[in-house]
Structure 1
Amino acid sequence: MKAIIFCGPSLVRVDTARFAAMEFRPPVRQGDLHAAAREGPGAIGVVDGYFDGQPAVLHKEILWAMTRGVAVFGASSMGALRAAELHSFGMRGVGRIFEAYRDGALTDDDEVALLHGPPETGYIPLSVPMVNIRATLEKAVAEGIIDPDTGARLTAEAKALFYQLRTWPDILGTLADGAQVRRLSDWLRTGKVDRKREDALDLLGEVDAFIRSGTRPDPPTFHFEWTENWHHAPWRNDAPTGTDAATDEDDAILDELRLSGDYVRLRDEALLRLLARSDERAAPERQAIRQATDAFRLQRGLVRQADVARWAQENGTDPAGLERMLADNARVATLARASEADLRRGILDRLRERDLYAICRDRAQARQRHARSPPPARPPDALLAAWHFENRLGRPVPEDLAEHAASLGLASVGKFFELVALDYTFQAAGAQENDTGAADKTSIA
Structure 2
Amino acid sequence: MTVYVFLGPSLPLDEARAILDATYLPPVQQGDLLRLLERKPRHIGIIDGYFETVPAVWHKEILLALSEGVHVFGAASMGALRAAELQSFGMIGVGRIFQWFSDEIIVADDEVAVRHAPAELGYLPLNQSLVDIRDGCASAIEEGIIGARLAENIISVARALPFWERNCDTIAAAMPYAESSEPREIAAWLAYMKSRHVSLKARDAAALLAKMKEVIAEPWQAGHPNFIYEPTIFMDRLLNEIALEKTRASLALPQESAEREARSIDQLRRAALLRVVAREHARRSGWELDQAELAEKASALWSALGVRSPEAAMRWMERSGISEQKLRSYISDELYVARLNGVHRVEVERELALQMLMMHAPQTGGDTRSSGSSCDAPST
User: How does the TM-score come out when normalised to structure 1?
Assistant: 0.54
2:184 is equivalent to residue 179 of structure 1: yes
Structure 1 residue 265, shift from structure 2 partner: 10
Partner amino acid, structure 2, of 1:4: Y
Query: What's 2:73 paired with?
Result: 73
- In 2 relative to 1, CA 3–260 (structure 1 residues): closer, same or farther, beyond 3 Å? same
Distance 2:246 2:314 in 1: 26
Alignment partner, residue 229 of structure 2: 224
Specify whether residues 216 and 144 from structure 1 end up closer, same or farther in structure 2 by C-alpha distance, changes over 3 A only: same
- State whether structure 2 residue 62 is matched by structure 1 residue 62: yes
- 1:212, distance to aligned residue in structure 2 (A): 2.4
For 1:194, the equivalent position in structure 2 comes to: 199
Cα shift at 1:162: 1.3
**Distance verdict in 2 for CA 1:121–1:175, change over 3 Å:** farther
> What's the secondary structure of 1:18's corresponding residue?
helix
| Closer, same or farther: CA 252–88 of 1 in aligned 2, 3 Å | farther
Aligned pair count? 266
Give the letter aligned to residue 189 of structure 2: L
Instruction: Tell me the distance in 1 between the aligned counterparts of 2:78 and 2:50.
Output: 8
Moved over 6 A (4+): 263-267
127-136 vs 7-16, which deviates more? 7-16
Cα 1:15–1:239 change in 2 (3 A) is farther
Label 1:261 to 1:14 Cα distance change in 2 as closer, same or farther (>3 A): closer
Answer 1 or 2: higher relative contact order, Cα 8 Å, separation at least 6. 2
CA contact (8 A) 1:36 1:240 kept: no
Identity of counterpart residues, as a percentage?
Answer: 36
- For residue 260 of structure 1, the aligned residue among 286, 299, 309 is 309
Q: Distance in 1 between matches of 2:223 and 2:142?
A: 42
CA distance in structure 1 between the aligned counterparts of 2:39 and 2:203, rounded to whole angstroms: 28
Look up the match of 1:235: 241
* Distance across 2 between alignment mates of 1:140 and 1:4: 35
- Are 2:10 and 2:47, in contact at CA under 8 Å, matched by a contact in 1? yes
Q: Please give the root-mean-square deviation of Cα atoms over the aligned residues, in Å.
A: 3.2
Unaligned runs of 5+ in 1: 271-314, 318-445
Paired residues for 1:107-186 under 5 Å: 107-173=107-173, 174=175, 176=177, 177-186=182-191
Equivalent residue of 2:11, what SS?
A: coil
The match for 1:101 is: 101
5 Å-filtered alignment, 1:278-293, equals none
Distance across 2 between alignment mates of 1:83 and 1:235: 26
SS at match of 1:144: coil
Judging changes above 3 Å, is the alpha-carbon distance between structure 1 residues 166 and 261 closer, same or farther for their aligned structure 2 residues? closer
Any conservation in 2 of the 1:136–1:191 contact (CA below 8 Å)?
Answer: no
How far residue 190 of structure 1 moved from its aligned partner, in angstroms, is: 2.3
Q: CA separation in 1, counterparts of 2:195 and 2:48?
A: 25
**Separation in 2, partners of 1:230, 1:184:** 47
Contact 2:47 2:78 in 1 (8 A): yes
Change (3 A) 1:260 1:139: same
Kindly provide the amino acid, as one letter, of the partner of residue 22 in structure 1: A
Please, what TM-score do these two structures have when normalized by structure 2?
A: 0.63
CA distance in 2, matches of 1:59, 1:28: 12
Amino acid paired to 2:234: N
Amino acid in structure 2 at the alignment position of 1:186:
A
Q: State the shift of 1:256 in Å.
A: 7.5
**Is 1:208 the counterpart of 2:257 in the alignment?**
no
Partners of 1:77 and 1:194 in 2: how far apart?
12
Matched, 1:8 2:14: no
Instruction: Write the distance in 2 (CA, Å) between the matches of 1:85 and 1:178.
Output: 40
* 1:283-342 C-alpha deviation (Å, 9 max, x unpaired): xxxxxxxxxxxxxxxxxxxxxxxxxxxxxxxx999xxxxxxxxxxxxxxxxxxxxxxxxx
**8 Å contact 1:35–1:240 — kept in the other structure?**
no
